[in-house]
């Protein structure tokens, strides 16, 4: 569309536009596709927006199996993934590739999600072209610069560049304002992962990967800081858990060679352990819904498990999602194999403790994050966001201290 590019200064306002707003959604990994899918779907439904989806191919198979969720054709595909990619080369290839796309397309804004290398470089490419940036899932912090690595740095850097900070929780919003982001640019919306999960549970029908009537444990691991000896130790702990005899473990294995090298030797040839390829989203959500207990180092699964009332043990030393721990829905158990085994055993054996966690609830939103995000963008681009224009007229609550998800 024809619109002058807006200045990239984080405090600048976007141009007022009258034609559909061209929003470039940049995504490269599985969770970005999942969490931007509802935004793409909402924009595609609205005459106010033209979503321009760019996939970087940071992930290959694991991204491809999520693209149906978008219900929007991919406009541009980069193909940057290399086996055992290093962060420096991945970053360089992405800045270069995305820079070209942004220059060629000149969207009205660029939307990035979360804290991956794709999100960081999508924001950088936009910043270099003076385009305004919307950051979905803004403000998550562990407070430890290299944990998770490199995501904590990525999310802080994106926070310096963005014009719209869509924080999933009041705490995330508070992190941003404490770092000096103007309150008027921070919006507490909930997390779009909940919107997507609720949509999939209504619209789709997946199959659980569990096959027995035993207690069902779902495990996923992938974080860089867990790879190597730490992950091997976790694999051994899972084998000991499976030795109980009354559980079935399902482990959808991340494609990363480093993850496979660490886990496969520890998990092989056990009758109670089912190692499977990464599941499509419908099957994964059905598997999550069918399980009794989740063990994970994933970000997204920490949000989805409480939504479905599944106790989650977080196999990490830090979390940027303490809301679930404080609500009582998740426990941060660390990376020591003995402690992990003890925590899993305690939950499986103690129905009262289990019931408390299972009923703690979900602190990550009510399924309306997308509406809030899209309505806020519509308002700031000067569009008429009335009901007859196809956008639900909700405006995300501007962050004013410990507020919640109320409409403005």
Expressed in angstroms, the distance from the first to the final Cα of the chain is 30
Q: What percentage of the chain's residues is helix, strand, coil (to nearest 5)? A: 45, 15, 40
59 binds, among ligand UD1, ligand UDP, none (CB under 5 to 8 A by kind): ligand UD1
Minimum Å gap between C-beta 70 and ligand UD1 is 16
Nearest to 290 by CA among 279, 298, 300, 299: 279
CA distances from 119 to 12, 88, 154, 217 (A): 21, 15, 8, 31
208 binds, among ligand UD1, ligand UDP, none (CB under 5 to 8 A by kind): none
Minimum Å gap between C-beta 302 and ligand UDP is 8
List residues binding ligand UDP (CB under 6 A).
30-31, 34, 193, 220, 222, 252, 278-279, 281, 284, 298-301, 304
Minimum Å gap between C-beta 180 and ligand UD1 is 25
Minimum Å gap between C-beta 196 and ligand UD1 is 15
- Residue (220 or 307) nearer to ligand UD1, CB: 220
Q: Is 4 left (phi over 0), alpha (psi -120 to 50) or beta?
A: beta
Q: Using CA atoms, how far apart are residues 106 and 126, in angstroms rounded to an integer?
A: 9
- Residue (131 or 262) nearer to ligand UDP, CB: 262
| Residue 368 DSSP class | -
Give me the residue whose beta carbon is nearest to ligand UDP: 298
- Residue (144 or 184) nearer to ligand UD1, CB: 144
- Residue (189 or 296) nearer to ligand UDP, CB: 296
117 binds, among ligand UD1, ligand UDP, none (CB under 5 to 8 A by kind): ligand UD1
56 binds, among ligand UDP, ligand UD1, none (CB under 5 to 8 A by kind): none
- Residue (31 or 367) nearer to ligand UD1, CB: 31
Phi, psi (degrees; rounded to nearest 5) at 29: -125, 165
In the three-class reduction of DSSP (H, G, I as helix; E, B as strand; rest coil), residue 113 is classed as strand
List active site positions.
115, 137, 151, 222, 224, 254
376 binds, among ligand UD1, ligand UDP, none (CB under 5 to 8 A by kind): none
> What b/e string do you get for 287-323 counting C-beta neighbours within 10 Å, with b at 16 or more?
bbbbbbbbbbbbbbbbbbbbbbebbbbbbbbbbbbbb
Asked whether the beta carbons of 37 and 69 are under 8 A apart, the reply is yes
Query: Tokens 């949509």 — which residue?
Result: 199
Minimum Å gap between C-beta 84 and ligand UD1 is 5
List residues binding ligand UD1 (CB under 6 A).
29-31, 58-62, 81, 83-85, 115-117, 150-151, 222, 224, 255-257
């Amino acid at each position: 569309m024809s619109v002058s590019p807006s200045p990239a200064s984080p405090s600048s306002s976007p141009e007022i536009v009258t034609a559909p707003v061209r929003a470039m959604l940049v995504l490269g990994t599985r969770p970005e596709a999942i969490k931007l899918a509802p935004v793409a779907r909402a924009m595609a439904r609205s005459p106010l927006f033209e979503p321009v989806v760019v996939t970087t191919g940071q992930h290959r198979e694991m991204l491809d199996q999520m693209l149906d969720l978008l219900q929007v054709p991919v406009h541009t595909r980069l193909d940057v993934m290399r086996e055992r990619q290093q962060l420096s080369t991945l970053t360089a290839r992405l800045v270069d590739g995305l820079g070209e796309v942004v220059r060629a397309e000149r969207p009205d804004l660029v939307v990035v999600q979360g804290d991956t290398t794709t999100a960081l470089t999508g924001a950088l490419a936009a910043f270099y072209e003076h385009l305004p940036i919307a950051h979905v899932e803004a403000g998550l912090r562990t407070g430890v610069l290299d944990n998770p690595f490199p995501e904590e740095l990525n999310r802080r850097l994106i926070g310096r560049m963005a014009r719209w900070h869509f924080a999933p929780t009041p705490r995330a919003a508070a992190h941003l304002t404490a770092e000096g982001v103007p309150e008027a640019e921070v919006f507490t919306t909930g997390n779009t992962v909940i919107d997507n999960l609720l949509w999939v549970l209504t619209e789709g029908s997946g199959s659980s990967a569990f096959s027995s009537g035993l207690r069902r444990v779902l495990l996923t691991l992938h974080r860089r800081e867990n790879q190597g000896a730490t992950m091997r130790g976790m694999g051994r702990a899972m084998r000991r858990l499976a030795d109980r005899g009354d559980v079935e473990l399902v482990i959808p294995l991340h494609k990363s060679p480093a993850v496979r090298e660490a886990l496969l030797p520890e998990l092989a040839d056990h009758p109670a352990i089912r190692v499977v390829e990464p599941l499509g989203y419908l099957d994964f959500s059905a598997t999550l819904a069918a399980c009794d207990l989740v063990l994970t180092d994933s970000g997204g699964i920490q949000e989805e498990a409480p939504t479905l009332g599944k106790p989650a043990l977080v196999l990490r030393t830090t979390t940027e999602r303490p809301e679930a721990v404080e609500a009582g829905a998740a426990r941060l158990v660390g990376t020591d194999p003995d402690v992990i085994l003890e925590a899993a055993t305690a939950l499986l054996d103690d129905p009262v403790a289990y019931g408390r966690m299972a009923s703690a609830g979900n602190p990550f939103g009510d399924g309306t994050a997308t509406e809030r995000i899209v309505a806020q963008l519509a308002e700031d681009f000067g569009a008429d966001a009335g009901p007859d224009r196809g956008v639900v007229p909700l405006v995300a609550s501007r962050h004013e201290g410990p507020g919640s998800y109320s409409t403005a």
